[in-house]
Structure 1
Amino acid sequence: MVGVCLDRSPDVVAALLATWRAGAAYLPLDPDHPAERLAFVLDDSAARLVLTSAALAHRLPGTARLAHVDTPATAPLNVAAPASAPVSGPVPLSGRSAPDDAAYVIYTSGSTGTPKGVVVSHRNLAARVAWMREAYGLRPDDRVVQFASLSFDTHAEEIYPTLASGARLELLPDGGVSLPDHLGGVTVLDLPTAYWHALVDEIDEIGWPPSLRLVILGGEQVHEAAVTRWRERFGDRVRLVNTYGPTETTIIATTAELDGSPGRPPIGTPIGDTSVLILDGGEAVPPGAPGELCVGGAGVAVGYLDRPDLTAERFTVLGGERIYRTGDRARWRADGRLEFLGRLDDQVKVRGFRIEPGEIEARLLTCPGVGQAAVAVHRETLVGYVVGEDAPTGEELAARLAATLPAHMVPALWVSLPGLPLTANGKLDRAALPAPELGPLTRTAPRGDAEELVAEIFGEVLGIEGVGAFDDFFALGGHSLLATRAVARIRAAVEVDVPIRTLFARSTVAGLAAAVEELLVAELAGLSDEEAEHLVETGNR
């Protein structure tokens, strides 16, 4: 196992391929994840080496063996294992991978509070790449955006079919949030459904390239209204494909062409050598009846790394075929396509991220003063509920969680309760958890036109009244998808190109307002006298 902890650059792709060439599997490590989580993943996976850069080395534990990809090697690399996992002699990284060897391991949220690593083989991945290359019609003249973080398996859907087709891979220097600024010439987009929904909300403000021919969605349920609006704009010119598949089934397992047919958009039919069963108590249910969606065939992963009990529980054999029990509810529709109906357990999806509330709740219960804890989703925002007279404030709890959990697993809103609602059987009744109050806030009022404009747009996007001059967009519950929407509205209001990265660098109302004013001044300074007079005469703000 070789960890890869790098920012988005060509070095990332080289590192992944080099790891395979050495006969190893790679372990994606997100540089933005807390140091404690990175340390856990490295220890749990027993990774022997981490490929990183000098700028990111401080994020990794001192016990890890590091190789800096931005430092030229002066001799062949023989890697000794860290002190925590001693071996006899050096460990040379050499050899070639075989079809049943692990290609990569990706860690996902765990319901018991511990993340688990999903092992995917080269055979699993090769089957997917071959299908995607043909089904998506990838060609050498395609330009495919690499949107997903390396820590999500969608990166494999973007990188490997593109390379195998001789196409061009477009890297986003500032991550997915900068996509609207880098659409020129793009032909294929592979997006989280929630992000696509945000783009559709601002469909007339996005500079869609004429070259765009295919958009692939995945991660959660597609909204019928969004498909309708998309097709009103693009018709059949841009192919729209909905995909479904947990990490354990190697990226995707089913697809559906979204042609605008009325009704809830389906997740389609099995791809390639994949099979799907809808089961209830181990028995197949008739068409139309709901049940657990189970996946078999070429994409079913090897299992969970060093978790034989959990692997045996979720990966089973039925009728001589190895299948993965997804925990998702679905049904076969009359048209022969699958419809997603939700979860059988408490797992949730927030903006395309797969989250086990139990992992967050387990962390909360370690906080002094917290007697009980629950986590739920309200309006696409993660909400934390705590019980305890001496419980810390929401801000303090968020800070504690941020030290151990990725940002998407830290609740943005908090509610203090005298007790958690329970069902008649004494279990947590998540449906009865109250919605967080999003009423007026007591803040310093915006000062001047620019701050008033930014505060108004923040309030509209976040659903909050009374946003103040020093309120932070992300502290109020904002995230990258909403940031895209907020910046699009600011651009439309002032008719100035405001880069999305500006909101991340200056996320308060006052900070962003000042940045907008600076951009306005710079643009005005470049106008001729005639252009300036025209603006004054027309009253264009």
Structure 2
Amino acid sequence: MSARPAAGPDELHALVRTAAARRPQAPAVHDGDRTLSYTELDRRADAFAAALRGLGIRPGDRVLLWAEKSAELVALMQGTLRAGAVYVPVAPTNPPARLLRIAASCRPALIVTDGVAERDPATNDWADRHPGAVLSELDGDPAAAPWYRSAPDELAYILYTSGSTGEPKGVCISHRNALAFVRWAAAETKLHGDDRLANHAPFNFDLSVFDLYGAFLAGAAVDLVPTALAYVPERLVELLDDTRGVTVWYSVPSALLLMMRQAGLLDREPPAALRVCVFAGEPFPVRDVRRLRAAWPEVRMFNWYGPTETNVCTSYEVTAADLDRERPLPIGRAASDASLALDPPDAEEGEIVVTGPTVMLGYWGRPAQDGPYRTGDIGRWDDDGNLEYVGRRDAMVKVRGHRVELGEIEAALAAHPDVAAVAVLVVGSGLDARLHAVVVPGPQGAPGLLALKGHCAARLARYMIIDSVSTVAELPRTANGKTDRAALLATLTG
């Protein structure tokens, strides 16, 4: 058998191999009752790399992954990189219609599923347009595995986010982009080999990058939280309280709020093993942050900020000094070697602009990102030099921790034959935020809420399905002809 190719220092897929050489029998991935050691994960990744190469996958090809979280899926992601291909994770809650739109964008050489009915290539018509394979049937000879030597600025993975035109946008992340964040985050949280990171976020959400690759960089373990349990607060509290010893938690605030409000997270002793709690993705109400900080005095706590296009670019550590805070929690100072600016620079508030090694390569199928990334978020500096998040300057919002372009939901609803026009609004905030559709009925009258929910479910991710609906004869317009969302919102909340 020939010697295994050496891993390069700036390859994302080198982390597992390096950890396997350093800590071969240490746990790498906990998946329910199954645990893969680093040696086992390394071998499974090689087997998948060989299988993909046997199917004709070549460097630069996209491999779309539409499956539930599992240790095998983690290994396949690693194997895809080792074959030089690009992985494109799509949450299993996405319906086939949205999968097809993502596939039409990135043109995958292969779609890998977990064989669940609607995702099974043998029983669904999406497979007529794209080659498909079932995860459990992919296997190859680890000894024959390729190892593609990736350059730092080569594409590693694509994360599809909600698009303002109604079509999902593919955020292209290089090895350099991901590693710049992971190395910073591991140092900031002082990750070490005995840590156990809870992976709450789906793999298509950039929060998962820290859970997986932070663990691999440190030779630590990642504990996969199944999608079905991600918002079941009692089970999440059990995960923190049980003997598995989770030491690092990272999630959207919505998950922590559910655990606090519905499962008595703070009505018990602090989790014995937990040493770091990180939240990101949406504002965390300051009154609830104060409660959490007071209840867990020995746990380091961070508020991270950054769009998918930059991953984390600011960080704020919540300390005992924040127990008396009344203002919203800052998003902090520059992280991941980023440089931050506000535009216009001399105004009290301005758009947050990011420069640095984590800024994406660009959107798939569009021109490469050139220069600083304009986030579309409005910020201001506080008296201590920390950045405060003020709000959005467009129609992109955060609902239950997920980034949502209202335009994508509106485009889906507008395709309903009985919808003449539609605007989608966010009513409420934080954990209570809901998606409300204001519909101008078509000639046959207005469709009901259940009909519109079903229409959304066939086209959109679950978190993008509307919660309520009302009708109007005409949508109000601003002076420049755009939908007057403020006027609509005032009629709903006034």
| Structure-2 residue corresponding to 1:200 | 260
- Give distance in 1, aligned partners of 2:448 and 2:492: 15
Give per-residue Cα distances to partners, 1:182-235, cap 9 Å, x unaligned.
222111100102222232334335674211111111011121101111122122
Q: Which amino acid aligns with 2:131?
A: R
The answer for the alignment partner of 2:236 in structure 1 is 179
Alignment of 1:54-73 (within 5 A): 54-55=115-116, 56-58=119-121, 60-71=126-137, 73=139
Q: Secondary structure of the equivalent of 2:201?
A: coil
* Pair 365,69 (structure 1): closer, same or farther in 2 beyond 3 Å: closer
Q: Equivalent of 2:456, from 391, 394, 401? A: 401
Cα–Cα, structure 1 residues 74 and 163, in superposed 2: closer, same or farther, change >3 Å?
Answer: closer
- Note the C-alpha offset of 1:51: 2.9
Residues 195 and 370 of structure 1, relative CA distance in 2, 3 Å threshold: same
Query: Residue 300 in 1 paired to residue 359 in 2?
Result: yes
Whole-Å separation in 2 of the counterparts to 1:340 and 1:53: 39
Letter in 1 for 2:337: D
Q: Aligned in 2, Cα 1:335/1:74: closer, same or farther, shift over 3 Å?
A: closer
User: Which of these residues, 185, 199, 204, is aligned with residue 151 of structure 1?
Assistant: 204
2:274 counterpart of 1:215: no
**Which string of whole-angstrom CA distances, capped at 9 and with x for unpartnered residues, describes residues 89-133 of structure 1?**
xxx986332211111001111111111101000011111111111
Q: 1:132-531, aligned counterparts within 5 Å?
A: 132-173=185-226, 174-177=228-231, 178-183=235-240, 184=242, 185-201=245-261, 202-205=264-267, 208-235=270-297, 237-249=298-310, 251-259=311-319, 260-261=321-322, 262=325, 263-280=327-344, 284-285=345-346, 289-308=348-367, 315-316=369-370, 322-379=371-428, 380-388=433-441, 390-433=445-488
Q: Is the contact between residue 270 and residue 295 of structure 2 (CA under 8 Å) also seen in structure 1?
A: no
TM-score with structure 2 length normalisation? 0.78
C-alpha distance in 2, partners of 1:414/1:436? 13
- Does the Cα contact within 8 Å between 2:349 and 2:378 map onto a contact in 1? yes
Name the residue aligned to 1:466.
Answer: none
Secondary structure in 1 matching 2:130: coil
Measured at CA, do residues 228 and 72 of structure 1 come closer, stay the same or move farther in structure 2, by a change above 3 Å? closer
Query: Does structure 1 conserve the Cα–Cα contact (< 8 Å) formed by 2:166 and 2:408?
Result: yes
Q: Equivalents in 2 of 1:248, 1:231: separation in Å?
A: 30
CA drift at 1:24: 1.1
Q: How far did 1:264 drift?
A: 1.6
Pairwise CA distance, 1:45? 0.3
Q: C-alpha deviations, 1:498-541, integer Å up to 9, x for none?
A: xxxxxxxxxxxxxxxxxxxxxxxxxxxxxxxxxxxxxxxxxxxx
1:110 aligns with 2:157: no
Change over 3 Å in CA distance of 1:121–1:35 after alignment to 2: same
| Partners of 1:240 and 1:258 within 8 A in 2 | yes
1:413–1:436 CA contact under 8 A, matched in 2: no
Q: Any stretches of 5+ residues in structure 1 without a counterpart? A: 79-91, 317-321, 439-541
Equivalences, count:
408
- 1:44 aligns with 105
Matched-pair contact (CA < 8 Å) for 1:20–1:96: no
The structure, 1 or 2, with the larger RCO (C-alpha pairs under 8 Å, 6+ apart) is 2
Give 3-state SS (helix, strand or coil) of 2:287's partner.
helix
**Cα distance in structure 2, aligned partners of 1:163 and 1:436:** 51
Q: For residue 72 of structure 1, report the CA deviation from its aligned partner.
A: 5.5
Write the deviation string for residues 424-445 of structure 1: whole angstroms up to 9, x where unpaired.
444322122257989xxxxxxx
Q: Does 1:124 align with 2:177?
A: yes
Unaligned stretches of 5+ residues in structure 2: 1-61
Shift in CA distance, 21/336, structure 1 to aligned 2, threshold 3 Å: same
- Deviation, 1:405, is 0.7
From the superposition, tell whether residues 165 and 302 of structure 1 become closer, same or farther in structure 2 (CA, over 3 Å): same
Q: Rate the CA distance shift 1:407–1:206 in 2: closer, same or farther, 3 A.
A: farther
Identity %: 37
Q: Give 3-state SS (helix, strand or coil) of 1:13's partner.
A: helix
Question: Residue 112 of structure 2 aligns to which amino acid in structure 1?
Answer: L
Q: Please list the CA deviations of residues 288-322 of structure 1 after superposition, one character each: whole Å capped at 9, or x if unmatched.
A: x10000000111000000122xx5xxx44xxxxx2
Structure 2 CA distance for partners of 1:197 and 1:422, relative to 1, 3 Å: same
